[in-house]
Amino acid sequence: MNSPRTVLFTGGALAPLAATGAGGLAGRRWWLGQEPELPAPVNREGRALWSNWAGNEHAYPVRRAAPASEAELTALLTDAPAPIRPVGSGHSFTALVPTNGTLVSLDRLQGLVRHDQAAHTATVRAGSKLAALGPLLAGIGQEMPNLPDINKQTLAGALATGTHGTGKGMPALHGEVQAMRIALPDGKIKECSRDEAPELFHAARVGLGAFGILTEVTLQNRPLQRVRKVVKLVETEQILRDWPDLAQKHRNAEFLVLPFTGKSALITLDSTNEPVSPRGPDQDTQTLMDLKSLRDVFEFAPALRRQAARAAMADIPPEVAIDEGWKLLSNERPVRFKEMEYHLPIAEQVGALREIIARIEREAKDVFFPIEARIIAPDDAWLSPFFGRESGSIAVHAWYKEDHDWMFRLVEPVLRDAGGRPHWGKLHSLGAPELKALYPMFEPASRLRQAFDPADRLMNPFLRRIFG
């Protein structure tokens, strides 16, 4: 069964219209779609290149380390060249990682440490990948109740940036953290929780890698359960009108606005005891490339672009899959992109989204990636974008080969006017003055960071902008 996000323009729906407009646009798009020029793999000093997944951030660290124990980690924190920056899977689009000092990977600190079957808690090493935690926790009858759209991140990296999924009453990943072990910049190991070193716990749960480096995390999980995932196409105007009720009705809900089509993909997940019906092979990549083809041909003819899209989408049935939650909450995303995401007070989400759709369709006709909308419960982590308020997120994307300046020009002003807080791992222009106004506990967190790292050994230029 084809998904609403899969193979939209196969079967000839696009071909006749494409033939009328391809002409010189094909050559123009070929030129614009060339691979970005990458920095040299090795610089003049003989240092190897590090680059993030999207390719928009890079560095030449003088030292790379992958400690296999806490002892190795604490030793390098006191002796290694600064700035010392931890790296996960490189899925952040901001410059949290780049350093000309020491790059620290936690890839050798993975796996389960212990678990409590009755309490449904599990202590895992912080370098564990979210994708690996799914089957690992399932093996002990547990699951993380919510997961982000992509599960390639390390747990430490996901927590550091406030990574989240979606769902009414569902907090971000750090909202389920019960305790942590953290290697501090002075080389000491500190345990923290709500009862032990609570200030460090509240500050470092979303810590940007600025308070120390996580080694172990205790998660409050839930019993393993099956969910029913439905993906269907709906009218964008209808979903904007019905979104508050939909978010309330389903365990997990999100939608993706397909710009220049008038359509959106609604994704819902609900607990079920129905027999397993696994999802088929991923087709989202083909769908995305179909949307790109539609843009390439009709970029300067929005009416024809909309007409072609709606004709192709007219008879696509819903896609249904039933399986354990960890198998369905996250998706494969092989097509690289750059992303901006802000988290708004929930009452502002729909109005801001309407304005963003209008601006993109009026002034950024080369955009073809969907606009993602999710909902996240409040929590009490000091640097959490969801601190003290239920939030609605809005995320815009650009293909990694193409310009993304339109995000700052057209989208970010709307998100800021709505009181949005930026995702720490995604593109934004804010610095300390703006962040202090958005985060009630920003200054206490900043003072605590300085107390634990007075020599600024963990501070790279991006973090200096953030903390001032």
pLDDT digit string (tens) for 95-130?
999 999 999 999 999 999 999 999 999 999 999 999
Residue 281: predicted pLDDT:
85
Q: Taking 50 as the threshold, does the pLDDT of residue 462 lie above it?
A: yes
DSSP, res 95: S
Q: Taking 50 as the threshold, does the pLDDT of residue 10 lie above it?
A: no
Q: Taking 90 as the threshold, does the pLDDT of residue 6 lie above it?
A: no
- The H-assigned helical ranges of 110-154 are 130-138
Q: Taking 60 as the threshold, does the pLDDT of residue 20 lie above it?
A: no
**pTM score of the predicted model:** 0.93
Residue 17: predicted pLDDT:
44
* Chain mean pLDDT for the chain: 93
Q: Taking 60 as the threshold, does the pLDDT of residue 12 lie above it?
A: no
pLDDT band at 36, cuts 50/70/90? confident
- The H-assigned helical ranges of 299-431 are 302-313, 325-328, 349-363, 405-406, 412-417
Q: Taking 60 as the threshold, does the pLDDT of residue 7 lie above it?
A: no
pLDDT tens track for 260-275? 999 999 999 999 999 9
What is the Cα–Cα distance from 12 to 263, expressed in whole angstroms?
A: 20
Percent of the chain with pLDDT over 70: 93
pLDDT band at 23, cuts 50/70/90? very low
Q: Taking 60 as the threshold, does the pLDDT of residue 11 lie above it?
A: no
CB-based contact 400:333 (threshold 8 Å): no
What is the Cα–Cα distance from 38 to 56, expressed in whole angstroms?
A: 9
pLDDT average, residue stretch 47-62: 96
pLDDT average, residue stretch 71-98: 96
Q: Taking 50 as the threshold, does the pLDDT of residue 2 lie above it?
A: no
CB-based contact 240:259 (threshold 8 Å): no
Q: Taking 80 as the threshold, does the pLDDT of residue 18 lie above it?
A: no
Q: Taking 90 as the threshold, does the pLDDT of residue 428 lie above it?
A: yes
Length of the chain equals 468
CA 429-432-435 angle, 5° bins: 75
Residue 25: predicted pLDDT:
57
Residue 38: predicted pLDDT:
84
pLDDT average, residue stretch 151-165: 97
CA 91-93-96 angle, 5° bins: 90
Q: Taking 90 as the threshold, does the pLDDT of residue 285 lie above it?
A: no
pLDDT band at 384, cuts 50/70/90? very high
Q: Taking 50 as the threshold, does the pLDDT of residue 1 lie above it?
A: no
